[in-house]
Amino acid sequence: MHTLLLSCRKAAALIERRSFAPLPAGLSVQLWMHTRICAGCKAFQHQSEVIDTLLEQRGNGVDAVSTAPLEQRIITAINDKN
């Protein structure tokens, strides 16, 4: 018989593992129960989702950078190609 109580360390790891593949049903229930009673892991779960979104959205900003020199280098490299 296995314990119903996950440790925080294990719960935190399962939160990430779940984003790669579905958890077995038993683990999924244990994780759900853990995050209901553990504020730390609940916050961890939220923050993990925020970080996922931030990671996905990187580089979508509109900060202006001058790319003219790079564009010229690329065009020169292409011109050298034939």
If one counts every other C-beta atom within 10 angstroms of the C-beta of residue 27, the result is 17
Binding of Zn ion at residue 38 (CB under 5 A)? yes
Q: Could you say which residues in the range 12-31 bind other proteins, by CB under 8 A? A: 12-13, 16-17, 19-21
**Phi-psi category of residue 36: left, alpha or beta, with phi > 0 → left and psi -120 to 50 → alpha:** alpha
Identified binder of other proteins from the candidate list 1, 25, 37, 54, rule CB under 8 A: 54
Instruction: Identify which of residues 26 and 52 has a Cβ nearer to other proteins in the complex.
Output: 52
d(CA 73, CA 9): 50
Instruction: Identify which of residues 28 and 47 has a Cβ nearer to other proteins in the complex.
Output: 47
Interaction site with Zn ion (CB under 5 A): 8, 11, 38, 40-41
